[in-house]
Amino acid sequence: MSHPRVFFERPVEHAVLDPNNPEVAAAHLPCAAVEVPLRRDEPWLEAEPLRATRSRLEESGDLLRSESGDEWFASRRAPHREVDLRAAGRSYAITLDASGESRPAVVGSIGGARVGSECHEGAIYLHRGRQFLVTQLDLDAHVVRVRAVDSPFYTRAVSEKETEILERQRTRPAGNFRLVQGRLRVTTHITGFERRRVRGQDLIGTEPLDLPPSSFETIGVWIELPDEIPDALAEEGLHHMGGIHALEHAALSLFPLFALCDRHDVGGISYRRHPQVERSAVFFYDGHAGGTGIAASLFDRFESLLAATLELVADCPCEQGCPACVHSPKCGSGNRPIDKAAAIRVLRLLLGHDRLRAPGLRGPARPAESAPRTEALSPDPAAAPHRLLFFDLETQRSADEVGGWHNAHLMRLALAVVYDAVADRFETYAEADVDALLARLREAELVVGFNIRRFDYAVLRGYTDRDLAELPTFDLLDAVHARLGFRLSLGHLAEETLGVSKSGDGLQSLAWWKDGRFEDVEAYCRKDVALVRDLFGHALDHGHLLFRTRAGERVRLPARWSVEELVERESARTDSAARAQPARGRAS
């Protein structure tokens, strides 16, 4: 009602379906087999993960295999009777508690994911506007027994939730945060429930509950917040946990605008500091076992969801938060803590409307370069049989825009250039090609670059959770620093050794990118890759590079490198790291 244009102008929300959900498929494959036998020559049935689900059903006896082995039949005549239309997994029957009756009347049914919070003993359950008091929750028989009442109070479960990251599937930088999609295990502990008056919502009392924790695996997306955001909230006297908790509630309420779902089809959890992420994080996940595809469908549109969330919260006329913006009717902690002002500030920082304030730059990733001067590049000396790749990238944002060099993973890839020494060709990768770029770098026996360990790999960390230190790498800047004890810029080395100047610098590249001069950015990046290649080749041929001292003397920098030795050294290092990884117990 407050945003009529959303109703009239937005496109129709996305209809999301995940036919490979193992819980859903396990229920529906026997139903399909009743109508027409499942055949091996059906391509959809042989594809994973349906093939694994079919095998599991055969082992459990729900599907029977034909003598020929090419068909599967349902073992029961009416398996559809066990399928819940409203939830994945086993449902619970809600029946009237009528002593002495052999077949008590059925009131309805509820999914296993919600039964603990809505149908615990002592709960007031609403069905078609009528109130029912839950007298018994039989977890073994999957039955809830209730009796009709006229109660002046309602109940609300008090719960604690935990989220374990099982697998990271994809990641990307977005605004001033990193967005990740992955497989999660969500565990809920129902610790008690509150009784509140219907009129006024006054708290009457609380009672503890002793229920076993319930867990399910699902798919979710989560925001990893940079440390500057909680620091900014603390400086301004805003509540960090209250802000991200309010953000979580408001964003969840808007999921139905972006995907065809009910707000109860998705869940969320906020962490001041998640133990696996090791920083503040907000999780959004499919509320049904196995995942339904809702959260994953928003991975590429998440900025739009946050922008709508900011509009919803900022435009709400309430002062401290209300059910129209940041309060949730299903919050297990009773909407505590909630800080509406903090949520607005967090959203503005996440979306980049407000700039992250850095405590101070933590060492520039790109040393100052010499003035540009156009000269011809030297011929390529790298004709080694090894798979050598020379690599450099440019970014869409500066270190100042993301709060410092330590947040390089938020700077976003503008483009990257790779030179293949064996094929003698340059390759350009845009942000949309980042997965192909990472795969290309993993093919190399040696990746050669200038300051790539501290800068280029740090930028790419926004797109992958794989440790890029595992890549066999020779960093020319690290080699110079190890020899001299101080760093030299790429422009200085190129001008003194090759007589060639750089065609620009990082800030110039950023200006070109923002002006839409993408060809200039690519040419600049390609020139830098060529300079690294030619400096590397000069060292191979002559055993040194040249630089000028502060006193103005032009001197040699010993650089007796051997491609064979570098490849062998990096291969031994990466093999040793791979062997040590299981011992470290590295989380996925």
Average pLDDT over residues 503-510: 89
Measured in whole angstroms, the distance separating CA 529 from the mean position of its chain's CA atoms is: 31
Residue 124 has pLDDT above 50, yes or no: yes
Strand-pairing partners, residue 162, are: 187
Residue 337 has pLDDT above 90, yes or no: yes
Closest C-alpha among 435, 177, 171 to residue 300: 171
Percent share of the chain, pLDDT over 70: 92
pLDDT for 587:
34
Better-predicted residue by pLDDT, 546 or 105:
546
Closest C-alpha among 224, 245, 232 to residue 345: 232
Average pLDDT over residues 367-393: 54
pLDDT for 386:
86
Residue at token pair 């990271």: 168
Q: Is 516 exposed, middle or buried (0-12, 13-18, 19+ CB in 10 A)?
A: exposed
Average pLDDT over residues 273-290: 95
Q: Is 174 exposed, middle or buried (0-12, 13-18, 19+ CB in 10 A)?
A: buried
Residue at token pair 């967090």: 346
* CA distances, 217 to each of 115, 214, 285, 337 (Å): 17, 11, 10, 27
pLDDT digits (tens, 9 = 90+) for 178-194: 999 999 999 999 999 99
pLDDT for 101:
58
CB 448 within 8 A of CB 442: no
Rounded-to-integer distance, Cα 200 and Cα 154, Å = 11
At 118, is the pLDDT very low, low, confident or very high (cuts 50, 70, 90)?
very high
Average pLDDT over residues 88-92: 76
pLDDT for 380:
43
pLDDT for 398:
95
Query: Do β-strands 143-149 and 91-96 pair in parallel, antiparallel, or remain unpaired?
Result: parallel
* CA distances, 106 to each of 96, 97, 149, 200 (Å): 6, 10, 16, 32
Residue 536 has pLDDT above 60, yes or no: yes
Rounded-to-integer distance, Cα 559 and Cα 565, Å = 13
Determine the straight-line distance between the first and last CA of the chain, rounded to whole angstroms.
44
Cis preceding-peptide flag for 49 (omega within 30 of 0)? yes
pLDDT for 531:
96
Residue at token pair 């867990």: 215
At 581, is the pLDDT very low, low, confident or very high (cuts 50, 70, 90)?
low
Residue 363 tokens, joined: 């060492």
Better-predicted residue by pLDDT, 581 or 269:
269
Residue at token pair 């502060």: 550
Buried b (16+ CB within 10 A) or exposed e, 481-513: eeeeeeebbbbbbbbbbbebbbbbbbebbbebb
3-state class of 135 per DSSP? strand
Residue 142 has pLDDT above 80, yes or no: yes
CB 181 within 8 A of CB 170: yes
Average pLDDT over residues 234-244: 96
pLDDT for 383:
44
3-state class of 517 per DSSP? coil
Percent share of the chain, pLDDT over 90: 74
DSSP summary character for residue 14: B
Residue 350 has pLDDT above 60, yes or no: yes
Rounded-to-integer distance, Cα 393 and Cα 395, Å = 7
CATH 3.40.640.10, domain 388-584, yes or no: no
pLDDT digits (tens, 9 = 90+) for 144-175: 999 999 999 999 999 999 999 999 999 999 99
CATH of 22-82, one of 1.10.3470, 1.10.640, 1.10.10, 1.25.40: 1.10.10
Residue 351 has pLDDT above 80, yes or no: yes
Residue 153 tokens, joined: 């109070």
Average pLDDT over residues 101-126: 87
Residue 49 has pLDDT above 60, yes or no: yes
At 86, is the pLDDT very low, low, confident or very high (cuts 50, 70, 90)?
low
Residue 482 has pLDDT above 50, yes or no: yes
Better-predicted residue by pLDDT, 61 or 381:
61
Average pLDDT over residues 282-290: 93
Instruction: Kindly calculate the radius of gyration of the chain based on its CA atoms and give it in whole angstroms.
Output: 30
pLDDT for 334:
87
pLDDT for 579:
67
Q: What is the 3-state secondary structure (H, E, C) of 59-72?
A: HHCCEEECCCCCEE
Q: Name the least confident of 95-99, 171-175, 390-394, 437-441.
A: 95-99
At 523, is the pLDDT very low, low, confident or very high (cuts 50, 70, 90)?
very high
Buried b (16+ CB within 10 A) or exposed e, 288-314: bbbbbbbbbbbbeebbebbebbbbbbe
CB 509 within 8 A of CB 394: yes
Average pLDDT over residues 549-556: 94
| Per-domain residue ranges of the chain | 22-82, 388-584
Rounded-to-integer distance, Cα 588 and Cα 584, Å = 12
Mean pLDDT in the chain?
89
Q: Is 154 exposed, middle or buried (0-12, 13-18, 19+ CB in 10 A)?
A: middle
Residue 491 has pLDDT above 50, yes or no: yes
pLDDT for 263:
83
pLDDT for 377:
32
Rounded-to-integer distance, Cα 258 and Cα 13, Å = 5
Residue 11 tokens, joined: 């496109």
pLDDT for 89:
67
User: What torsion do the CA atoms of 54, 58, 59, 60 make, to the nearest 10 degrees?
Assistant: 100
Residue at token pair 């040194």: 544
Amino acid symbol at 109: S
Average pLDDT over residues 315-325: 94
pLDDT for 11:
83
